[in-house]
Amino acid sequence: MKKLPKLLELNLSPRARNILACNDIRTTRDLLKQSVHELFRIPNCGKVSIYEIGNALEKCGLELAGFSEYKVFSPAAPEHIQELRRKAKAQ
């Protein structure tokens, strides 16, 4: 199995790192257990943070569940963001 990079090695912004740390997501393995929908449930974890996290994982050859569907649309597309939030709340 491929060794997972440490969260610090993903070069996330301080905001993204703080969001993850405050929600007990301390390792890359913890992060990979999450999906885009679950991250949307986290307070202050918005479309830009999710896009940043998903792209950082992709650069390492990893994938956040639901990110490939999410990134097809612009993170600035409010209709799509609202749809993802509705799905997250429904689960």
* pLDDT tens track for 10-43: 999 999 999 999 999 999 999 999 999 999 999 9
66 Cα distance to chain centroid: 9
| DSSP state at residue 7 | G
Quote the pTM value. Answer: 0.76
Q: Read off the pLDDT of residues 69-81 as tens digits, 9 standing for 90 and up.
A: 777 665 545 566 6
DSSP class of residue 25? -
Cα–Cα distance between 7 and 88 in angstroms, integer? Answer: 24
